[in-house]
Chains A and B, each alone.
Chain A
């Protein structure tokens, strides 16, 4: 098992952490782009033979989005909306090959980490946002590497 709500939820959470650093008025367009991208990619669908590409795109997007947390300056409206659209597209792609519409509904609220993260940024514990963001990148690096092995645990074995 490697699909479901978890990969898109991690991507949406990474976007949420990034949005916490942006001016508040830039959050709605980015989230809308994310939802539209996810719905569009899910509706169009990804062929089964492109499953690995969909997962690779999702994990690379998690890493890239988490890396953007460490940029010295803030992202503008357009780049932030594009990052939101990118997150939505790859999340929708992953769910279309290894998930259900319910997984998308379950994953979407992960972007709401923007609320506690934005509040934490006004406290002495603000370093925690970047630290937790780096955890997402670490998970993505590991998850992206799993297909490199021919004996991944999620593959059916001799019992199936």
Chain B
């Protein structure tokens, strides 16, 4: 009885439904990309690849990804049909890890197109959740900032590692990322 009384007095119970969608804005949005290894690895891989490719792609890729992710987010918000999202996200980790490991340096437009298409999938996944956020602007700021910082971490790690241990060391990071991508694709297609 005492426990029941105590539970009734717990403020957390009343916070279960605060009246307006998801709890929190900025913090929820900021933590969201950090909570999923698939998102996180893809975004760091974009930065690492940018570091290998150099100018102008080291700027273009981190600029294109958030913009196209936002477009994907809009597609998710309005519910436009898309191919299986989890498969697209898994493939993004696999492909980005692979191009990194192989040290591929395609034409600029090819790299931008590749990253833009994958960004649509990542944005779509976020966009489906965005409308229920109690503070959608704060949520958007949080997850765009978090995504962008992950790119910059990738670029920073890529540049530092290239200077200290050479480009091969940066490319070596692509292997584990691609392997993780294989696992994400498997999980997405497994019955």
* 9-residue interface stretch from A19-27, A74-82, A139-147: A139-147
**Contact across chains for B74 and A145 when beta carbons are under 8 A apart:** yes
Q: How many A-B residue pairs have CB under 8 A?
A: 110
* 9-residue interface stretch from B59-67, B95-103, B105-113: B59-67
**Contact across chains for A148 and B78 when beta carbons are under 8 A apart:** yes
Residue B92 at the chain A interface, CB threshold 8 Å:
no
Per the 8 Å Cβ criterion, residues 74-128 of B in contact with A are 74, 77-78, 127
**Contact across chains for A131 and B73 when beta carbons are under 8 A apart:** no
A: number of interface residues (CB 8 Å) = 32
Chain A residues contacting B152 (CB-CB under 8 Å) are 128, 131
Most A C-beta atoms less than 10 A away, residue of B17, B70, B71, B78: B70
**Contact across chains for B144 and A135 when beta carbons are under 8 A apart:** yes
Residue B37 at the chain A interface, CB threshold 8 Å:
no
**Contact across chains for A134 and B135 when beta carbons are under 8 A apart:** no
**Contact across chains for B78 and A137 when beta carbons are under 8 A apart:** no
Chain B residues contacting A137 (CB-CB under 8 Å) are 66-67, 70
* 9-residue interface stretch from A30-38, A42-50, A104-112, A152-160: A152-160
Chain A residues contacting B144 (CB-CB under 8 Å) are 135, 138-139, 142
Residue B58 at the chain A interface, CB threshold 8 Å:
yes
| In the bound complex, CA of A2 to CA of B127 (Å) | 16
**Contact across chains for B70 and A149 when beta carbons are under 8 A apart:** no
Chain B residues contacting A121 (CB-CB under 8 Å) are none
**Contact across chains for A143 and B66 when beta carbons are under 8 A apart:** no
Chain B residues contacting A102 (CB-CB under 8 Å) are none
**Contact across chains for A139 and B70 when beta carbons are under 8 A apart:** yes
Residue of chain A at shortest CB distance from B55: A127
Given contacts A135-B145, A159-B19, contact A145 B135 (CB under 8 A): no
Most B C-beta atoms less than 10 A away, residue of A130, A135, A155, A160: A135
Residue of chain B at shortest CB distance from A141: B70
Residue A123 at the chain B interface, CB threshold 8 Å:
no
**Contact across chains for B62 and A131 when beta carbons are under 8 A apart:** yes
Residue of chain B at shortest CB distance from A2: B137
| In the bound complex, CA of A119 to CA of B48 (Å) | 26
**Contact across chains for A145 and B77 when beta carbons are under 8 A apart:** yes
Chain B residues contacting A138 (CB-CB under 8 Å) are 66-67, 69-70, 140, 144
Chain B proximity of A5: nearest CB distance (Å): 10
Residue B130 at the chain A interface, CB threshold 8 Å:
yes
Chain A proximity of B28: nearest CB distance (Å): 11
Q: A1-B25, A1-B134, A153-B134 are in contact. List 12 more A-B contacts (CB 8 A).
A: A2-B136, A130-B59, A131-B59, A138-B144, A139-B137, A141-B74, A142-B70, A142-B130, A143-B137, A143-B140, A155-B20, A157-B20
Contacts A/B (CB < 8 Å), 27 sampled: A1-B20, A1-B134, A1-B135, A6-B137, A6-B138, A6-B141, A128-B152, A130-B63, A132-B148, A134-B66, A135-B148, A137-B67, A138-B67, A138-B70, A139-B144, A141-B73, A141-B74, A142-B73, A142-B136, A145-B77, A149-B77, A153-B20, A153-B22, A154-B20, A154-B134, A156-B19, A157-B19
Closest A-B pairs by Cβ, 5 of them:
A153-B21, A141-B70, A138-B66, A138-B70, A159-B19
